[in-house]
Chain A
Amino acid sequence: MPQTALGPEQMTTDQPPQDLAALIACPKCDAVYRATDPGTGERAVCARCHTVLIAPRKRAGKQIIAIALAVVVLVIAATIFPFLSIRAAGVVHDSSILDAALAFSSSPLLVVLSLAVAALIVFFPVMRALLAIYVLTPLVLDRPPFPGAIRAFRLSEALRPWSMAEIFAIGCAVALVKVADLALVAFGPAFWMFSALVILMMLQDSYMCRYSVWKSLEK
């Protein structure tokens, strides 16, 4: 993917205020550039700290909405169906994601942890997907944004590091290795849903260009 690094000649210190909208400050290192919209398939990268500043994609809005809908459906389904099942000496036990979250509820001290795990692997991913739908749907339809869309998008960005579904999926693999010699472990339908989910959520994040969304929200 070709990258257009905004050159230092585009840095500026003495812009008249009416040009403020044309400026972009790197959120990570605060270098200021005059924003030029990159072409299709190009990205604008901060020349100083290499943070991606602008990465627009064609029809990204529709794609993100589609992915977010799929995420919501898959998470709900994945929470209900069994995730892994274990078999040893004729005893079988199923476990769903909800069971995994509730595993800590046995002792009062760990109930907090139970809630935290449920939030990290189920609620936050679903909430981010719903927020993305809420923010982007009017933008895609060329309507004015829904009320509170700005706060919704900010919340969605704040939740980004706390949505840990992909870490849970890798955790499953580790758990499998640990139990494998103790008993026979089989994947349930939810496991495959969850694998798809992880890929979808990564796509959702990589399609989302914050600069473009903020710009459209401002209109």
Chain B
Amino acid sequence: MGTESCGRCGHHMVSRDTLSLQKVWAWWVVGLICYIPANLYPMLATRTLVSKDEGTIIGGAVELAHHGSWGIALIIIFASVVIPIGKFMAVAALALGVKNGSRMSPLRRHQLYEVVEYIGRWSMIDVFVVAILSSLVQLGSLASIQPGKASLFFALSVIFTMLSAQSFDSRMIWDQEDGNPDLPPARPPAPPVLPDASAQSGPETPPETAQKAPA
């Protein structure tokens, strides 16, 4: 009771991380900054006997579409553009929702958070593809692929957004429902495992508010 660290795993213990939202926004901004050069610099430099071209992420997808591979082009656009931008928007929506309240039900926002946390790691796939391609396609003068600067920035962007999502304390979504919308004030050192109001507000969220689509 009132201990500084968890008696079980020894981790430093606070009821709520008061800096959680600040950390979320800090990582979010750095992630967004890294995402810009990730799209401006070339991701891959392909050199063949006759040509040498450097393609950005979007450039590569557009080129694939010109060649008629619409499917792959769509996958690339989805994985490297739609998902990262959607992730930025989702994390921002969650953080704003904690601060200003949200029309989405806590359950919906919790699900959105889980999706962001799950999908976040998968953006790394682009960096791995570049790694595989540039280690595999080394055929001397015939053809070779070199990684471009964008790969570094893209990896950093993915890592920073993962950290941003991890900094978000999902319990804050539920604190509002429990009737304490303010961010973790200096709470009296209550027994940390017992949130004060979880019993009176029912655990089930009304299904009609759960219909709204995630942002």
Chain A contact residues, CB within 8 Å of chain B = 8, 11-13, 15, 17, 20, 23, 25, 28-32, 46-50, 83-84, 86, 88-89, 91, 93, 95, 99-104, 106, 109-110, 112-113, 116-117, 120-121, 150-151, 153-154, 161-162, 164, 167-168, 170-172, 174-175, 177-179, 182-183, 185, 214, 217-218
Q: Is the CB of B110 within 8 A of A28?
A: yes
Instruction: Determine whether B102 belongs to the interface, using a CB cutoff of 8 Å to chain A.
Output: no
- B128 & A48 in contact (Cβ 8 Å cutoff): no
Residues of chain B contacted by A167 (CB below 8 angstroms): 121-122, 124-125, 128
Q: Give Cα A88–Cα B144 distance, bound, in whole angstroms.
A: 11
Q: How many A-B residue pairs have CB under 8 A?
A: 180
Top-4 shortest CB links A-B: A171-B128, A48-B203, A103-B135, A99-B135
Q: Give 30 A-B contacts (CB < 8 Å), ordered by A residue.
A: A13-B199, A28-B171, A32-B195, A46-B203, A48-B204, A49-B107, A91-B139, A93-B139, A95-B135, A100-B128, A100-B135, A101-B131, A103-B131, A104-B134, A104-B147, A109-B152, A110-B151, A113-B151, A113-B152, A161-B121, A161-B162, A171-B132, A172-B128, A174-B125, A175-B129, A175-B132, A178-B133, A179-B136, A185-B136, A214-B8
* Residue pair A102, B142 in contact (C-beta under 8 Å): no
B194 close to A (CB within 8 Å): yes
A104 CA / B132 CA spacing, docked (Å):
10
CB 8 Å contact bits of B1-38 with A (1 = contact, 0 = none): 10000001111000000000000000000000000000
The answer to whether residues A106 and B147 also contact, given A32-B194, A161-B121 and a CB cut-off of 8 A, is yes
Chain B nearest Cβ from A20, distance in angstroms: 6
Q: Smallest CB-CB separation from B9: which chain A residue?
A: A154
Does the CB pair B129–A171 fall under 8 Å? yes
User: In the complex, what residues of A have CB within 8 A of residue B96's CB?
Assistant: none
B110 CB, min distance to chain A CBs, angstroms:
5
Nearest-CB distance from B95 to chain A (Å)?
Answer: 16
Tell whether A154 pairs with B193 under 8 Å between CB atoms, given A29-B170, A49-B107. no
Name the residue of chain B whose CB is nearest to the CB of A163. Answer: B121
- Of the residues B132, B136, B173, contact of A29 by C-beta under 8 Å: B173
* Residues of A close to B1: CB separation below 8 A: 17
**DSSP class of B's interface residues: helix, strand, loop or mixed?**
helix
A30 to B205, CA, bound (A): 15
Query: A84 to B203, Cβ gap below 8 A?
Result: no
Contact of A178 among B120, B129, B193, B203 (CB under 8 A): B129
Specify which of A13, A28, A30, A121 lies most central, judged by the most chain B CB atoms within 10 Å of its CB.
Answer: A30
Please, which residues of chain A bring their CB within 8 A of the CB of B149?
109-110
B127 close to A (CB within 8 Å) = yes
Most chain-A Cβ atoms within 10 A of its Cβ — which of B131, B143, B197?
Answer: B131
Interface residues of B (CB under 8 A from A): 1, 8-11, 72, 75, 106-107, 110, 117, 120-122, 124-140, 142-143, 146-147, 149, 151-152, 155, 159, 162, 166, 170-171, 173-175, 191, 193-199, 202-205
Contact present for B174 and A30 (CB under 8 Å): yes
A30 engages B128 (CB within 8 Å): no
Q: Report how far A154 CA is from B13 CA in the complex, Å.
A: 14
> CA of A185 to CA of B135 in the docked complex: distance in angstroms?
13
> What separation, in Å, do the CA atoms of A13 and B198 have in the docked complex?
8
Contacts of B194 in A (CB 8 A): 12-13, 15, 23, 25, 32
Alpha-carbon distance between A213 and B192 when the two chains are bound, in angstroms: 21
Who on chain A is nearest to B44 by CB? A178
Which among A12, A17, A175 is the interface contact of B133 at CB below 8 angstroms? Answer: A175
Given A93-B138, A172-B132, is A8 in contact with B8 using a C-beta cutoff of 8 Å?
A: no
A115 to B155, CA, bound (A): 12
Per the bound structure, the CA–CA distance linking A164 and B203 in Å amounts to: 34
How far, in Å, is B30 (CB) from chain A's closest CB?
Answer: 15
A154 touches B11 (CB 8 A): yes
- Taking the nearest CB of chain B, how far is it from the CB of A119, in angstroms? 11
B127, chain A: closest CB distance, angstroms: 7
